[in-house]
């Protein structure tokens, strides 16, 4: 595929992205946000030339598709600043779409940065970043605290892994998403037990600590 054709496809993808930005959106999981962890992981992968930063977000069967998109993006983004911007957005969209499909969740386009995610998601992310769950627990009913602490402990136990250990990264992502969904469900009045929620992609790459940092 020549450069002109690749750029034409990227421009078409950008047009679809623009429509997605104009659509009204509900506050859903933050994995589809421009300032969310999936896009942050993609930015890091492109900056360091290491696709493993994003493979933890997708099903093993989708790895080949992501690797191909990654290599095409790296090639096109070298052409010019404009090509780089289009190529990056193409990769972000491809990654988030495949990630969402792997979750069994609908893909409605990338969401703009700065949207209101409510109190729980930011508090849960901060808890992981700082290793302190107590501020998050203040937002949740006391009856759910034991379960949330259990999920939180599991996340911290899997948080530190090598960037190139994709299997360990996926284990962390699954623990992260289970924790996040449990906290959201409790806050919204559900039972908060997300232990059976298996999520191969995840919403955590912008928050994990690996030995490559």
Instruction: Using a pLDDT cut of 70, give the percent of the chain over it.
Output: 75
Map residue 53 onto helix, strand or coil: helix
Residue 114 lies in a domain: no
Q: What is the pLDDT of residue 28?
A: 44
Total domains present in the chain: 2
Last residue of some domain: 103, 135, 156? Answer: 103
CA distances from 208 to 67, 87, 126, 213 (A): 21, 25, 12, 9
Q: Which of 209 and 105 is assigned the larger pLDDT? A: 105
- Pair (91, 151) in one structural domain: no
Q: Which of 116 and 2 is assigned the larger pLDDT? A: 116
Residue 109 lies in a domain: no
Q: What is the pLDDT of residue 30?
A: 77
Residue 62 lies in a domain: yes
Cα dihedral 138→139→144→145 (10° resolution):
-30
| DSSP state letter for 33 | B
88-104 pLDDT tens trace: 999 999 999 999 999 88
Q: Which domain holds residue 143?
A: 120-210
Q: What is the pLDDT of residue 76?
A: 98
Mean pLDDT of the chain: 82
Prediction pTM value:
0.74
* Contact assessment for residue 25 and residue 115, using Cβ atoms and an 8 Å cutoff: yes
Map residue 160 onto helix, strand or coil: strand
Q: What is the pLDDT of residue 91?
A: 98
134-157 pLDDT tens trace: 999 999 999 999 999 999 999 999
Residue 147 lies in a domain: yes
Which residues lie below 8 Å from residue 182, measured CB to CB, with a gap of 6+? 144, 147, 148, 151, 192, 193, 194, 195
Greatest mean pLDDT among 7-21, 47-61, 190-204 lies in: 47-61
- Pair (99, 7) in one structural domain: yes
Residue 58 lies in a domain: yes
Report the distance separating Cα 114 and Cα 20, nearest Å: 15
Question: 169: which 2 tokens?
Answer: 């990264």
Report the distance separating Cα 153 and Cα 79, nearest Å: 46
29-50 pLDDT tens trace: 578 999 888 999 999 999 999 9
- Pair (99, 9) in one structural domain: yes
Residue 25 lies in a domain: yes
Q: Which of 187 and 30 is assigned the larger pLDDT? A: 187
- Pair (22, 98) in one structural domain: yes
- Pair (77, 132) in one structural domain: no
**Quick check: 210 pLDDT over 70?**
no
């Amino acid at each position: 595929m020549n450069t002109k054709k690749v750029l034409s496809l990227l421009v078409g993808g950008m047009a679809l992205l623009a429509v997605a930005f104009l659509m009204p959106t509900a506050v859903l999981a933050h994995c589809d946000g421009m300032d969310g962890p999936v896009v942050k992981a993609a930015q890091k992968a492109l900056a360091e030339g290491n696709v493993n930063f994003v493979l933890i977000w997708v099903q093993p069967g989708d790895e080949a598709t992501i690797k191909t998109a990654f290599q095409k993006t790296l090639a096109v983004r070298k052409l010019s600043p404009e090509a780089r911007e289009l190529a990056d957005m193409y990769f972000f969209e491809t990654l988030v779409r495949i990630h969402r499909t792997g979750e069994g969740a609908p893909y409605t386009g990338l969401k703009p940065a700065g949207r209101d995610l409510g109190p729980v998601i930011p508090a849960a992310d901060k808890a992981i970043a700082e290793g302190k769950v107590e501020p998050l627990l203040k937002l949740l009913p006391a009856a759910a605290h034991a379960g949330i602490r259990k999920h939180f402990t599991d996340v911290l136990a899997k948080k530190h892994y090598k960037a190139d250990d994709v299997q360990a990264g996926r284990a962390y992502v699954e623990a992260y998403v289970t924790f996040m969904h449990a906290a959201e469900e409790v806050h919204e009045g559900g039972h908060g037990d997300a232990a059976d929620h298996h999520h191969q992609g995840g919403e955590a790459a912008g928050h994990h600590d690996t030995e490559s940092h």
